[in-house]
Structure 1
Amino acid sequence: MNVLIVYAHPERRSLNGAINDFTVERLRANGHAVQVSDLYAMNWKALLDADDVRERRSDAPFHPSLDSKHAFENGLQSRDIEIEQDKLRWADALILQFPMWWFSMPAIMKGWVERVYAYGFGYGVGEHSDTHWGDRYGEGLMAGKRAMIVVTTGGWESHYSPRGINGPIDDLLFPIQHGVLFYPGFDVLPPFVVYHTSQMDATRLQTTYDALSKRLDRFWDDAPIAFRKQNHGDYAIPQLTLRAELAEGESGFAAHVE
């Protein structure tokens, strides 16, 4: 299988760097082809702006979605965007690896998503009608591929428990797992989370590697998160609200998981 790892940490000698190296080695030892988009090493441009469109009139107002659509459809995207899209086409699986900063991914990775997920590629795909509201949330160009988050955080596991001060980890990661990965069609595996990183010693690092090995070895066997698909009957269209008889009494993120 082909695996793309999008990695965001400014220091290769960090814990994240060590985990990234281990992940690449383990996947390759299992016979998989691996590419790494090391965003800091690539000096990735995080800002989505008019420079993302080649041969664009400089006096015209910039419209992020419409300019993205025009560039994608006419082969006028910035070359760095095209390269990352080609990597996603090549990949059977995507791993997003990053430290949790301010309850989300680093800005440079958010910029990778904003620029690479162009209109017609990551969104704006498929028919929009009274019965089908675009190819998204379980459908789209990434359908049939798998994805997983590998994330580190300084907080303790209890801090991210159902009653923890930071909020449940599944809730914090929902916008990424459901919105960034499931939206364009990926089957999303449960995340691999490394907590309390300031207390990492050699013994605990080996335990982390052992646990990550098991997840990587089962990457194509483990069941993905059972997010509800948009166009398969669970949601009223075009309102895009969960049908009343489903997840009765529930609301919020959990209602969108079967």
Structure 2
Amino acid sequence: MNVLIVLAHPEPRSFNAALAARACDVLRQAGHQVEVSDLHALKFKAVLDADDFSGEREDAEFLRVDREQTHAHSSGGLAADIVAEQEKLSRADLVILQYPMWWFGMPAILKGWADRVFTRGFAYVPGRKYDTGMFRGKRAMVSVTTGTSADTYAPDGIDGDILDILWPVHNGLLRYSGFEVLQPFVSYMPRRLTPEEREAELDRFAQHVLADVPRLFFHPQEDYGPEERLRPGVIARSGFQHNTDR
């Protein structure tokens, strides 16, 4: 199996970096091929702009991102750093996103990686999303650290259910582009761990990575009507979705 780990933390000695390193080690020991994109070490450009398009533009006067991405993908005009990450994604059977929860979302550098690498034409096209997404057959998993406790991310916690917080990544990025999304790994408040607890948490992650991790549930296409809303009688079971007649 080919695995891509995308690490988004600016400190090489961080717990996020340690988690990524442990996953890399145990996966390689198990015989898998592993690539790591350490976005800060790569000095990956987070901002999508006109410099993403190295070839002749479709419209040099007005930057419409979706059209320019499609044109650049088909004509070989994407910037080299984008192409390098797309090649890693193409090789990967499993993608692990490793990052700290900042302001209830991904760090800017990882959001920028998604903005720039998941281009139209490569990661999605009209009519190819969710069940029929471009990355159908690949798996993806989020591994995230938090600054607050598991209680705050409980369904009745002040921060909200962790799966709801992760919905934009799980559904809006990964499932949208066709991935089978695995149950996330969440390390709550790692900064408060003792050295012994830290090692135990790293071991827990190693076991999670090597296990047959359950898939998150997403409603299949047949549960939706022509307006892409859940059909009457289908009980909402995933993420932020809820039935409006209840």
Per the normalisation by structure 2, the TM-score is: 0.93
SS in 2 for 1:209: helix
User: What RMSD, in angstroms, separates the aligned Cα atoms of the two structures?
Assistant: 1.8
Residue 76 of structure 1: how far off its partner (Å): 0.6
Per-residue deviation, 1:59 = 4.9
SS of the aligned residue for 2:130 comes to coil
Could you tell me which residue of structure 2 aligns to residue 50 of structure 1? 50
- SS in structure 1 of the partner of residue 5 of structure 2: strand
Aligned length in residues? 242
SS in 2 for 1:98: strand
* Structure 2 residue 220 is matched with structure 1 residue 229: yes
Question: How far has the Cα of 1:150 moved from its partner?
Answer: 0.5
1:198 aligns with 2:185: no
SS in 2 for 1:236: coil
Query: Which digits, 9 at most, give the CA deviation of each residue in 1:119-172, with x for residues without a partner?
Result: 1111225xxxxxxxx121122221111110010011000010011111110100
Mapped to 2, the partners of 1:181 and 1:49 lie a distance apart of 23
- The letter of the residue matching 1:243 is R
After superposition, the C-alpha distances for 1:83-105 in whole angstroms (9 at most, x for unaligned) are 11111110111000000000001
Give the 3-state SS of the residue equivalent to 1:135 in structure 2.
coil
Supply the distance in 2 between the matched residues of 1:212 and 1:109 (Cα, whole angstroms).
Answer: 21
Residue matched to 1:34: 34
Is the contact made by 1:104 and 1:173 (CA closer than 8 Å) also made in structure 2? yes
Mean Cα deviation higher: 167-176 or 208-217: 208-217
Q: What does residue 125 of structure 2 align with?
A: 124
- Residue identity over aligned pairs, in percent, reads 44
Q: 1: CA distance between counterparts of 2:43 and 2:239?
A: 37
Match of 1:240 in 2: 228
Q: Partner residue of 1:174?
A: 167
Unaligned runs of 5+ in 2: none
1:48-105: per-residue Cα shift (whole Å, max 9, x none)? Answer: 1111112345851111111111111111111111111111110111000000000001
Alignment gaps of 5+ in structure 1: 126-133
8 Å CA contact 2:218, 2:238 repeated in 1: no
More divergent stretch after superposition (114-123 vs 89-98): 114-123
Structure 1 segments, 4+ long, off by >2 Å, are 55-59
Note if contact 2:130-2:177 (Cα within 8 Å) is conserved in structure 1.
yes
Partners of 2:88 and 2:148 in 1: CA distance: 33
One of 233, 240, 243 as aligned partner of 1:253: 240
Q: Deviations over 1:159-216 (max 9, x none)?
A: 1001111111010001101111111111111100000122111121122122112211
1:207 and 2:208 matched = no
* TM-superposed deviation, 1:252: 6.4
**Alpha carbons 1:155, 1:197 under 8 Å: kept:** no
SS in 1 for 2:135: coil
Separation in 2, partners of 1:174, 1:33: 28
For the pair 1:14 / 2:3, whether they are aligned, the reply is no
SS of structure 1 residue aligned to 2:174: helix
Deviation at 1:251, TM superposition (A): 9.1
Name 1:129's counterpart in structure 2: none
Q: Give SS of 1:177's match.
A: helix
- TM-score normalised by the chain length of structure 1: 0.89
